[in-house]
Structure 1
Amino acid sequence: MICLTSPVETRAHRWPAGAKLAALCVATMVLFAARAPLFHAAAFLGMLALYAAPGRVFLRAGVGRLLVLWPFLAVIALWHGWTGTPEAGLVIALRLVTAVGLANLVTMTTRLDDMIAVLRRLAAPLRRFGISTRALELGVALVIRFTPALAHKGGLLAQSWRARSPRRVGWRIVLPFALLAIDDADHVAEAIRARGGI
């Protein structure tokens, strides 16, 4: 599994994780409340400016991680083109890319243990009722760590397919991808059990 934090040190790395996550929540709510295409275009450009501020390496790394959204954007474009509502499709696409881009920005500039510490503080009231929050904390950490690892392995599967076949990559890699994910999950479960479980 790989870490999502950026190798480029920025000023945002030193900001408190709680403040960044709270700002992300507010920004996401504003994005979903707004309807104007110009607002969403401005928000998208602002998000790109935040990526560009630390330099070209950070911008390339951040935008590269957003490329996984292209299938969703393609479906949005096809649907709204077919239904004759391109403006609504543009708003949804800009909202999606901006929200995911801001979330990715927070993840790139925040260490995983800092985010888990924020989650632990937020879940503190549950512990007063005798509810263990260790499973929740571990689940969030695993999702954050596994997502880029699985995306990378999916990319390697697609490359392997293209190296062996002139046909386009299709549904045939779904089964090996699922088996890879199950195998990774099995290894992680064994490691957790070996350390006493949760």
Structure 2
Amino acid sequence: MLALTSPIQTYAHRLPTGLKLALLCGFTIVLFALKSPVSLTLAAFTLAALIATAGPQFAHASLKMLRPLIPFILIVALWHVITQDPGGAPILLRMITAVAAANFVTMTTRLSDMIAVIEALARPLKPILPPKTLALAIALTIRFTPTLLIRADQIAEGWRARSPKRPGWRILLPSTLAALDDADRAAEALRARGGLG
């Protein structure tokens, strides 16, 4: 599994995790309240400027983290072109900006710090849901996401090496089986370490 925290140190790495998560929540709420493409573009440029203040290397790494969005951007754009619906631009701007903001927080925050904040926030839910269980589930989701994307890329490369046809939907089953296999191994590792303790 991979950690998403960037090795490129920035001023944002030193900010408290709780503050970053609170600002992310506030920014996302405002982002979804905005309706005009102009105000959404302004929000996107503001975030881009914030990311740029962390340096060119970090900005480049942050941009690369948006690559998994490309298929979704193409599907949404194509749908709105076919249906001649002008509402596609605000949807795309919201999606890209929200994911970029979440990436910025994730890349500048250690996973252990994020888990500690989630556990603290989840304490009132203790009678219904143990905070450690919730924190572990979120941590595994964050850590497994890039791993699954890399695994899907590897399977696609293997397909391209053996066939002139594009992989497309054909890699869906092997990717799913690989994800289940990874989940199985993670569960075994957790059991070997005594579970949640």
TM-score normalised by the chain length of structure 1: 0.95
Give 1:107's aligned residue: 106
Query: Shift in Å at residue 31 of structure 1?
Result: 0.8
Measured against aligned partners, the alpha-carbon deviations of 1:75-132 in whole angstroms (never above 9, x if no partner) come to 111111111113x1011001000000000000000000111111111011123x3752
Of residues 175-184 and 162-171 in structure 1, the stretch that sits farther from structure 2 once superposed is: 162-171
Which of 181, 184, 194 aligns to 1:183? It is 181
Aligned position for 1:116: 115
Which is further off, 41-50 or 110-119?
Answer: 41-50
Deviates more, 1:63-72 or 1:161-170: 161-170
Asked if the contact 2:111–2:139 (Cα under 8 Å) also holds between the matched residues in 1, the reply is yes
Question: 1:1-198, aligned counterparts within 5 Å?
Answer: 1-86=1-86, 88-127=87-126, 129=127, 131-198=129-196
Following the alignment from structure 1 to structure 2, what is the Cα–Cα distance between the partners of residues 17 and 157?
A: 35
Say if 1:43 and 1:131 are closer, same or farther in 2 by CA, change over 3 A: closer
Alignment partners' CA distance in 1, 2:118 and 2:129: 14
The alpha carbon displacement at 1:51 in A equals 2.1
What are the superposed Cα offsets for residues 134-158 of structure 1, whole Å, 9 maximum, x if unpaired?
2111101100100011111111111
Contact kept, 8 Å, 2:118 with 2:131, in 1: the verdict is no
Provide the rounded CA distance (Å) in 1 between the counterparts of 2:129 and 2:45: 43
**5+ unaligned residues in a row in structure 2: which ranges?**
none
How far apart are the structure 2 equivalents of 1:43 and 1:52? 14
Q: Percent identity?
A: 52
Unaligned runs of 5+ in 1: none
Query: Number of residue pairs matched?
Result: 196
Question: Helix, strand or coil: the match of 2:66?
Answer: helix
Q: How does the TM-score come out when normalised to structure 2?
A: 0.95
Distance in 1 (CA, whole Å) between partners of 2:158 and 2:128 is 49
Structure-1 separation of matches of 2:108 and 2:23? 13
Q: Which residue type is aligned with residue 29 of structure 2?
A: M
CA distance in 1, matches of 2:24, 2:17: 11
What amino acid maps onto 1:125 in structure 2? P
Q: CA offsets, 1:163-184, max 9 Å, x none? A: 2222112111111101110110
